Chain A
Amino acid sequence: MNIVVLVKQVPDTWAERKLNEGDKTLDRASVDVVMNEIDEYAVEEALRIKEAQGGEVTILTMGPERAVETIRKALSMGADKAVHLSDEALKGSDAVQTSYALGKVLETLEYDLVIVGSEATDSRMATMGALLSERLGQPQLTGARKVTAEGGTVTIERQTDDGYAVVEASTPAIISVMEKINEPRYPSFKGIMAAKSKPLTTLSVGDAGVDEGQVGLAAAPSQVVEFSNKPPRQAGQIVKDEGDGGTKIAEYLASQKFV
């Protein structure tokens, strides 16, 4: 079973994240960057399927040159090869444009499954699986906490508020996974050493057959118009206990709809 995993490099969620003042895009240069956390689960799931059934795991990443660090991490976890779509023209692309560009690359790859993380911690759009499904005309299975792939069929358990639903599709299909699905492995030292000799293809928009006019900030269907920093935290409300402290706290919690 051949699997493509979409992996995104994002600012470390523990770091202070900000937008560029000028074009209001995410500042990716001045912060520590990491693999989007849920993508590690996507890689892990692909590796488990591959280890059980054979096949190849390909990492697909769109991002600046620096994103190669994240690609190497996925390769050092055990993925077989990677495609890196990297071009200055892609800067500022929104989710719709990104799905267009990634879809173009996916059209050139042979796969049974595309596995994506349910959302990225930077944009928090949580739409990539759905957008690709529409563009590629392939079924999507979302919110998987368990994946079973056999023959030409893939079945998932989709987490819901009340329990789970079993959903099935024919392959090729697109699956988005959530944290409950597995415990991602650490890369290994041998994996790190092996990663440097694994095939990594870097594509420009031209190489990928992406129309430059349809990507990038200038052509983006959605753009950040304005932003402001989160207001500083307000001073808390102090409740003085005059024998009725418990009641007052309960009333406060009720007023905030916590209880």
Chain B
Amino acid sequence: MSRWDTAERQALRQLARDLTAKEIAPHVAGWEREGQLPRSLHKTFANAGVLSVAFPEEVGGGGGDSIDAAIVAEEILLGGGSGGVVASLFTHGIAVPHIVQSGSRDLVDRYVRPTLAGDLIGALAVTEPGGGSDVAGLRTRAVRDGDAYVVTGAKTYITSGVRADFVTTAVRTGDDGYGGISLLVIDKGLPGFTVSPPLDKMGWRASDTAELSFDEVRVPAANLVGDEGAGFVLIMKQFQSERLAMATQAWATAQRCLDLVIPWLKDRETFGRPLSSRQVVRHKVAEMARQVWVAKTATRAAYEAWLDTGDAVTEVSMAKNTACAVCDHVVDEAVQLFGGLGYMRESEVERHYRDSRILRIGGGTDEIMNEVIAKRLGV
């Protein structure tokens, strides 16, 4: 039996499907309009143990692994959720793993446990207005002053930044380059810490995104995650799970579009015949399905390589680029096949078309992925 299909994972899949059908799908359109998720959704998913599924039990998690987390994301998207819902509901998936990995027990108790319990919302802040992919070049500075760090700088494109109660923030505590980067957990509301109104995005509209500004914000030194200078390695390590999550979102979104398109093609008649009777349409759908299968297979293989070897940077990077390219192609074809209706806000494929575009940018762009792969190949 595939490790994606054990009895327990079938039950988890069903749970995620039920939660999606009842707690997400009926509300997505409203959340997309409002631009954010209600906090109660975090609590509902926490109570079912789904929010924390892949985190260790010692920190309040479910004790599963990243395949369990992927199964939840797959089902939310296959069941009619949106990329924005997944990105926003599971932002803690990028916000707290560093704390789990190397933070103090105190930080785990204050931030990780309440977040996994659905009581707090966290965000991760790495990208800056002056540069996105260049993590080693970030400029937000944290200067030690007694028992605090004084933080000055700015972050942008921060997922869940508007709602976040705390932000795991990449700051420069040392010299230029990657060795001078640390992670600090910064509480919302500290003097000098301001959050912009929500940024107006093309897609992922149910997910709030913010710019953050730090003007001499005093952050307790106890909020340092791990050691000074350890930030870059922590960030890079966690990027692997973020990239896998993006790949999952990509193939599952594409599969959802395929699931929406097929009944439509059978139903929709042009010139007296269903669209599905036209060879050009049939071949288009066959090609979409083939690509989705490739994306799904590559993504799942990358998960397995990552879990089995602990180092699957090449596979993860390749899976992300494969799945995201497939998603872009499939959402575009889905809109085309829906025709005029596909261009209307009322059709779900229209939303997927907009949501897909971020996947080739977030968590490391196509180009960064290719740089990583080339480096790994020794080119």
Question: A interface vs B, CB < 8 Å?
Answer: 69, 72-73, 76, 185-193, 195-196
Main secondary structure of the interface of A (DSSP, over half): helix
Q: Given A192-B15, A193-B63, is A187 in contact with B8 using a C-beta cutoff of 8 Å?
A: no
Residue contact B48 to A186, C-beta cutoff 8 Å: yes
Q: Please indicate the chain B residues that have their CB under 8 angstroms from the CB of A76 in the complex.
A: 11, 15
Q: Please indicate the chain A residues that have their CB under 8 angstroms from the CB of B19 in the complex.
A: 186
Q: Please indicate the chain A residues that have their CB under 8 angstroms from the CB of B49 in the complex.
A: 188-191
Q: Given A72-B7, A196-B7, is A189 in contact with B12 using a C-beta cutoff of 8 Å?
A: yes
Q: Is B76 at the interface (CB under 8 A from chain A)?
A: no
CB of B310 to closest CB in A, whole Å: 23
Q: Is B250 at the interface (CB under 8 A from chain A)?
A: no
CB of A36 to closest CB in B, whole Å: 15
Q: Please indicate the chain B residues that have their CB under 8 angstroms from the CB of A188 in the complex.
A: 15, 47-50
Q: Please indicate the chain A residues that have their CB under 8 angstroms from the CB of B52 in the complex.
A: 189
Residue contact B48 to A187, C-beta cutoff 8 Å: yes
Q: Given A72-B7, A72-B11, A76-B11, is A189 in contact with B18 using a C-beta cutoff of 8 Å?
A: no
With the chains together, A191 CA to B11 CA distance in Å? Answer: 10
Residue contact B8 to A196, C-beta cutoff 8 Å: yes
Residue contact B63 to A186, C-beta cutoff 8 Å: no
With the chains together, A69 CA to B52 CA distance in Å? Answer: 24
Q: Is B53 at the interface (CB under 8 A from chain A)?
A: yes
With the chains together, A81 CA to B41 CA distance in Å? Answer: 31
Q: Please indicate the chain B residues that have their CB under 8 angstroms from the CB of A191 in the complex.
A: 49
Residue contact A189 to B7, C-beta cutoff 8 Å: no
Q: Is B62 at the interface (CB under 8 A from chain A)?
A: yes
With the chains together, A32 CA to B328 CA distance in Å? Answer: 33
Q: Please indicate the chain B residues that have their CB under 8 angstroms from the CB of A185 in the complex.
A: 47
Q: Mark B257-301, 1 if CB is under 8 A from A, else 0.
A: 000000000000000000000000000000000000000000000
Query: What are 25 of the A-B contact pairs (CB < 8 Å)?
Result: A69-B10, A69-B11, A72-B11, A73-B11, A76-B11, A76-B15, A185-B47, A186-B18, A186-B19, A186-B47, A187-B48, A188-B15, A188-B50, A189-B49, A189-B52, A189-B64, A189-B68, A190-B49, A190-B62, A192-B12, A192-B15, A193-B8, A193-B62, A193-B64, A195-B11
With the chains together, A73 CA to B48 CA distance in Å? Answer: 13
Q: Mark B3-17, 1 if CB is under 8 A from A, else 0.
A: 000011011101100
Closest to A195 in B: B11
* CB-based closest 3 A-B pairs: A189-B49, A188-B49, A189-B62
Chain B interface residue count, CB cutoff 8 Å, equals 19
Closest to B9 in A: A192
Pick from B11, B48, B52 the residue with the most CB of A within 10 Å: B11
CB of B70 to closest CB in A, whole Å: 14
Closest to B50 in A: A189
CB of B157 to closest CB in A, whole Å: 31
With the chains together, A195 CA to B7 CA distance in Å? Answer: 11
Residue contact B63 to A192, C-beta cutoff 8 Å: no
With the chains together, A70 CA to B47 CA distance in Å? Answer: 21
Q: Please indicate the chain B residues that have their CB under 8 angstroms from the CB of A192 in the complex.
A: 8, 11-12, 15
Q: Please indicate the chain B residues that have their CB under 8 angstroms from the CB of A195 in the complex.
A: 11
Q: Please indicate the chain A residues that have their CB under 8 angstroms from the CB of B11 in the complex.
A: 69, 72-73, 76, 187, 192, 195
Q: Please indicate the chain A residues that have their CB under 8 angstroms from the CB of B8 in the complex.
A: 192-193, 196
With the chains together, A73 CA to B15 CA distance in Å? Answer: 9
Given contacts A188-B15, A189-B53, 14 further A-B contacts (CB under 8 A): A72-B7, A76-B15, A186-B18, A187-B11, A187-B48, A188-B49, A188-B50, A189-B12, A189-B50, A189-B62, A189-B64, A190-B63, A193-B62, A193-B64
Closest to A192 in B: B11
Closest to B53 in A: A189
Pick from A72, A73, A188, A189 the residue with the most CB of B within 10 Å: A189
Q: Please indicate the chain A residues that have their CB under 8 angstroms from the CB of B14 in the complex.
A: 73
Pick from B47, B49, B68 the residue with the most CB of A within 10 Å: B49
Give residues of chain B (186-237) contacting chain A, Cβ–Cβ below 8 Å. Answer: none
CB of A15 to closest CB in B, whole Å: 14
Closest to B57 in A: A190
Closest to A73 in B: B11
Q: Please indicate the chain B residues that have their CB under 8 angstroms from the CB of A196 in the complex.
A: 7-8
CB of A52 to closest CB in B, whole Å: 18
Q: Please indicate the chain B residues that have their CB under 8 angstroms from the CB of A73 in the complex.
A: 11, 14
Residue contact A186 to B62, C-beta cutoff 8 Å: no
Q: Please indicate the chain A residues that have their CB under 8 angstroms from the CB of B50 in the complex.
A: 188-189
With the chains together, A185 CA to B7 CA distance in Å? Answer: 20
Q: Mark B27-67, 1 if CB is under 8 A from A, else 0.
A: 00000000000000000000111101100000000111000
With the chains together, A195 CA to B63 CA distance in Å? Answer: 15
Q: Please indicate the chain B residues that have their CB under 8 angstroms from the CB of A187 in the complex.
A: 11, 15, 48
With the chains together, A187 CA to B11 CA distance in Å? Answer: 9
CB of B276 to closest CB in A, whole Å: 21
CB of B30 to closest CB in A, whole Å: 21
CB of B102 to closest CB in A, whole Å: 25
With the chains together, A211 CA to B239 CA distance in Å? Answer: 63
Q: Please indicate the chain A residues that have their CB under 8 angstroms from the CB of B63 in the complex.
A: 190, 193
Closest to B8 in A: A192
CB of B68 to closest CB in A, whole Å: 7
Closest to B46 in A: A188
Q: Mark B323-355, 1 if CB is under 8 A from A, else 0.
A: 000000000000000000000000000000000
Closest to A187 in B: B15
CB of A61 to closest CB in B, whole Å: 16
With the chains together, A146 CA to B6 CA distance in Å? Answer: 38
